[in-house]
A and B are shown apart, each in its own frame.
Chain A
C-alpha cells in the first residue's frame, strides 16, 4: 500500500508542479459558481436548495476530468517513461491505484474548495445538512467512476489529445444516455439498461438526500471495473 501512496504522491506533485492541476481546480470552481449564481439565477429563484449547483457538476466533470486523466498513461508513453515505469518495482495494480488516488486527490481538493458556496448560501436560508453530505458523497462517487474511465482511456492511447477527446465523448455519453429513453421510443429492456448505465441516473438519489445501495454499488462496480481493465490493459500490453 505504501508503494501505491508513493505513486499517488508523485502524481499529485506532477499535477500541481504544472498548471494542469491548478487550472482544473480554478476553472471548476469558477464555472460551478458562475453557472449556479448567474445562469441558474439562484437568488432570483429564492430557494435554499443546491440541487442546481450539484446538477452542473456531472457535465463539468465530463469536460474537465479528462484534462486530468489524459496525461496519466498517454504522457508516460509519449515521453518514453512508460517502459522505465514498467521496470520499477511496482505492480500494475499499485501504479493504477496510485494514479487514481492522485486524480481523486485533485477532485477532492476541488470539491473541498466549493464549500464556501453552501456556507455563504446558508446565510440566506436553511440548507439541509444531510442532503448536502449526500450530494458531496454522490459527486465523489461520480468523480471516482469518471476518473477511472478516463484513466482506462488514457492507458489505451498514445496521444494526450486523443485521450482527452475520447474521454470527453465517453463521459458525456454516459452522462446523457439516460435521455435516450426520454427522446426515443425504445423497448423497455433497453430503457432499463440505458438508465442503469447512465451516470446521471445514479446521481439523482444523492441530490435528494438518499443513499441507495444500488447507486452506490453502480459507482463502486464501474470504478472497480475501469481500474481493473486499466491494470489488465497494461499487463496484456506487455505481451505485445
Chain B
C-alpha cells in the first residue's frame, strides 16, 4: 500500500516537473508585454499601427548584431522584441531579419554600419572588442542605415521616419546658417548636429549671402549678430519660396572670451526681418528666478583660481507650467534651458498666427541697459542682477511658433547693397504662407547645453523641425521617452535644501523609529497580558 502511495507521489512529481518545464518553454515562446509607463513609452503608436497602409512594396529591416554583444547587453533583446512587434503590425509589408554581424560583417559595413569599440571579457581576459549593432531598412533599391543603436527609446520614431523617407523617396534636409562670428558647426553645434542626424535629417551648412536651395526642408538660423540686411535677404527669399525656419536669435551678444561682456546686437538683418514677420526681439536681457546654478572660475587675491557655484538668473530654466501644453512642439515637454534670453513680443495685428510656446515665470525681470552678466564676487550677492527688477517684473514670452502669410521687408524695394557682391532683387509683394519658430536665445542650441546638462534643448529643436516639416504625428512618438526627469519642482534652493533634510528625517529616521516604538509597545502589551493571565495558568510563565 505504502509502495503504491510512494509510486503515485513520484509519478505526480514527475508530471508536475514536466508541466512546469513545458510551461517555462511555452512562456518563452508565447508572450505579451504590458506597458505600464504613463507615456506608453514601449507601446507602438497609432502611426506605427497604420504604417502598413502607406507601404506599397515590402520593407526589409535587417538588424546586424554581434552575438557577443547580444549575449551581454539587455538592450539587444529589447530591440529584437520591438522589431518583432513592429513586423507583426506590418501585416506582411514589413519583414524583419536578425543577422549575425560577425558572419555578415562585410555586408553590414557595406551598408555603413561601423564596428563600435566595447570592453568585454573573453576567455577570462579583458579586451576591447569591435562589435556591430546597426539596422538597415531596405525598400526597393534604396536603403537607410541606423549605424549604431543600443536602446529602443527613439527607435520607433527613427524607423517610421526612415520608412516614410524611403517610400516617398524624400530625404529631409536641415540647413544650418550660423549667424554669429567665431562660431562653427564643428566647434559649437555638435549636439544639435548629432540630434538632427539621429532624427533622420541630413544637416547641411548654409553659407552666408548664398542662395538657400528649396530642397532645404527646415532652415536653422543659429545666431544673428553677424548677419546684416544683405544676409537676411537670402533668408527672406527662402521663406517666400515656401521655406520654413527656426530662428535662435539674440538681442544682446555675450563675449565668452572677455568675462561675459554684454553688448546689444548692432546688425539689424535678422531682427529686422523678424520684426517684419511680426516678432520683435528687444536688445535687452530677460532674467528669471527659476534659473540654473552655474560653476564659475574666478581668480582669488592669492593669484589662484576658485570655482564658485552661482545661481545665474541669465540662464533661465523654463518650467513645465509655463510652456504651451497644447502645441505639438511642447505638449510632451522634457525641459528647456535658455542662456541669456531677450524679451520677445509679437505683433497681433499681422496675418500671422502666433502661439507662445514658452514663457518665463511671473517673477522674471529685464535688464534694459548697463547689462550685468559677470558672476558676482560673492555668490550670495545677487543684488547687482536685480537693479531693474522692481520696474520691469512680469512674465515674458521666450519662444513662439508662427504660421500664416508673411510680408517681406524688402518688398518696398529698399534693398541692401554690398560692395563687390551681386545686387539683390526685390522680393515679390506676395505674402507667403509658411511656418516659423522663434526662440529669443541664440546660445541655447550651442554645445553649452552639455555644460549645463541641457541636452533636451536639442530635443526641443528636433520637435520644432518636425513641426516645421509637417511631421507632427512623429513628434509625440519621439518625445514620449523624453520625460523631464530633473528634480526641479522646488525652485527655491533654500526650500529645496530644507525638503532634502526632511526627506532624510522621514525615510531614515521617522519611519524606522515609528517601527521601533510600535515593536516596544507591542512587546509591553504582550508582557502585561502574559502577566495578567499567569495566575489563571497556575503561575506558569
Q: Which of B485-506 contact A (CB under 8 A)?
A: 485-490, 496, 499-500, 502-504, 506
Closest CB in chain B relative to A32 CB, distance in Å: 9
From B247-255, B399-407, B419-427, B508-516, give the one contacting chain A. B508-516
Contact of A209 among B27, B35, B488, B522 (CB under 8 A): B35
Q: Which of A184-204 contact B (CB under 8 A)?
A: 184-186, 188, 191-192, 195-196, 201, 204
Residue of B67, B120, B508 most packed against chain A (CB within 10 A): B508
From B37-45, B154-162, B467-475, give the one contacting chain A. B37-45
Q: Which of B333-375 contact A (CB under 8 A)?
A: none
Closest CB in chain B relative to A190 CB, distance in Å: 10
- Chain B positions within 8 Å of A188 at CB level: 67, 71
- The reply to whether A130 and B37 contact each other, CB–CB distance below 8 Å, is yes
Docked CA distance A182–B74 (Å) = 11
Closest CB in chain B relative to A229 CB, distance in Å: 9
- The reply to whether B20 and A221 contact each other, CB–CB distance below 8 Å, is yes
- The reply to whether A214 and B36 contact each other, CB–CB distance below 8 Å, is no
With A214-B31, A224-B20 as known contacts, state yes or no: A47 contacts B485, CB within 8 Å. yes
- The reply to whether B37 and A125 contact each other, CB–CB distance below 8 Å, is no
Q: Is A83 an interface residue (CB 8 A)?
A: no
- The reply to whether B20 and A225 contact each other, CB–CB distance below 8 Å, is yes
Contact of B42 among A116, A196, A210 (CB under 8 A): A210
Q: Is A86 an interface residue (CB 8 A)?
A: no
With A30-B508, A225-B20 as known contacts, state yes or no: A128 contacts B124, CB within 8 Å. no
- The reply to whether B27 and A191 contact each other, CB–CB distance below 8 Å, is no
Q: Which residue of chain A has its CB nearest to the CB of B12?
A: A232
Q: Is B13 an interface residue (CB 8 A)?
A: yes
Q: Which of B454-491 contact A (CB under 8 A)?
A: 483-490
- The reply to whether A181 and B486 contact each other, CB–CB distance below 8 Å, is no
Q: Is A22 an interface residue (CB 8 A)?
A: yes
- Chain B positions within 8 Å of A43 at CB level: 487, 500
- Chain A positions within 8 Å of B515 at CB level: 22, 25-26, 29, 113
Q: How many residues of A contact B (CB 8 A)?
A: 62
- The reply to whether A33 and B486 contact each other, CB–CB distance below 8 Å, is no
Q: Which residue of chain B has its CB nearest to the CB of A216?
A: B27
Q: Is B16 an interface residue (CB 8 A)?
A: yes
The contact string, 1 if C-beta is below 8 Å from chain B, for chain A 100-117, is 000000000000010011
With A131-B36, A208-B42 as known contacts, state yes or no: A183 contacts B71, CB within 8 Å. no
- The reply to whether B507 and A120 contact each other, CB–CB distance below 8 Å, is yes
Q: Which residue of chain B has its CB nearest to the CB of A129?
A: B38
Q: Which of B4-60 contact A (CB under 8 A)?
A: 6, 9, 13, 16-17, 20, 23-24, 27-28, 31-39, 41-42
The contact string, 1 if C-beta is below 8 Å from chain B, for chain A 117-148, is 10011011110111101100000000000000
With A209-B36, A217-B24 as known contacts, state yes or no: A47 contacts B511, CB within 8 Å. no
Q: Is A87 an interface residue (CB 8 A)?
A: no
Q: Which residue of chain A has its CB nearest to the CB of B515?
A: A26
- Chain A positions within 8 Å of B488 at CB level: 124-125
Q: Which residue of chain B has its CB nearest to the CB of A206?
A: B36
Docked CA distance A34–B507 (Å) = 9
- The reply to whether B20 and A130 contact each other, CB–CB distance below 8 Å, is no
- Chain A positions within 8 Å of B496 at CB level: 124
Chain A binding surface, main DSSP class: helix
- Chain A positions within 8 Å of B512 at CB level: 26, 29-30
Q: How many residues of B contact A (CB 8 A)?
A: 57
- The reply to whether A125 and B74 contact each other, CB–CB distance below 8 Å, is no
Docked CA distance A206–B108 (Å) = 33
- The reply to whether A232 and B485 contact each other, CB–CB distance below 8 Å, is no
Q: Which residue of chain B has its CB nearest to the CB of A16?
A: B522
Docked CA distance A47–B217 (Å) = 35
Q: Which of B63-115 contact A (CB under 8 A)?
A: 67-68, 71-72, 74
The contact string, 1 if C-beta is below 8 Å from chain B, for chain A 26-43, is 100110011001000001
Docked CA distance A129–B39 (Å) = 10
- The reply to whether B42 and A183 contact each other, CB–CB distance below 8 Å, is no
- Chain B positions within 8 Å of A29 at CB level: 507, 511-512, 515
Q: Is B391 an interface residue (CB 8 A)?
A: no
- Chain A positions within 8 Å of B260 at CB level: none
Q: Is A211 an interface residue (CB 8 A)?
A: yes
Q: Which residue of chain B has its CB nearest to the CB of A213?
A: B31
Docked CA distance A82–B23 (Å) = 33
Q: Is A218 an interface residue (CB 8 A)?
A: yes
Docked CA distance A33–B510 (Å) = 12
- The reply to whether A196 and B20 contact each other, CB–CB distance below 8 Å, is no
Contact of A128 among B37, B499, B500 (CB under 8 A): B37
Q: Is B519 an interface residue (CB 8 A)?
A: yes
Docked CA distance A56–B9 (Å) = 40
- The reply to whether B526 and A218 contact each other, CB–CB distance below 8 Å, is no
Docked CA distance A134–B35 (Å) = 9
Docked CA distance A16–B519 (Å) = 8
Docked CA distance A33–B35 (Å) = 27
Closest CB in chain B relative to A22 CB, distance in Å: 4
Closest CB in chain B relative to A204 CB, distance in Å: 6
Residue of A126, A183, A196, A236 most packed against chain B (CB within 10 A): A126
Q: Which residues of B contact A (CB under 8 A)?
A: 2, 6, 9, 13, 16-17, 20, 23-24, 27-28, 31-39, 41-42, 67-68, 71-72, 74, 120-124, 453, 483-490, 496, 499-500, 502-504, 506-508, 511-512, 515-516, 519, 522, 526
16 contacts between A and B (CB under 8 A): A25-B515, A26-B515, A48-B486, A49-B485, A120-B502, A123-B499, A124-B488, A124-B499, A126-B485, A130-B35, A184-B121, A192-B71, A196-B24, A201-B74, A208-B37, A209-B37
Which 8 A-B pairs give the minimum distances between C-beta atoms?
A217-B27, A209-B37, A130-B36, A124-B487, A211-B34, A120-B503, A125-B487, A33-B507
Additional 5 contacts, C-beta under 8 A, given A116-B506, A123-B490, A134-B36:
A117-B507, A131-B36, A213-B32, A218-B24, A225-B17
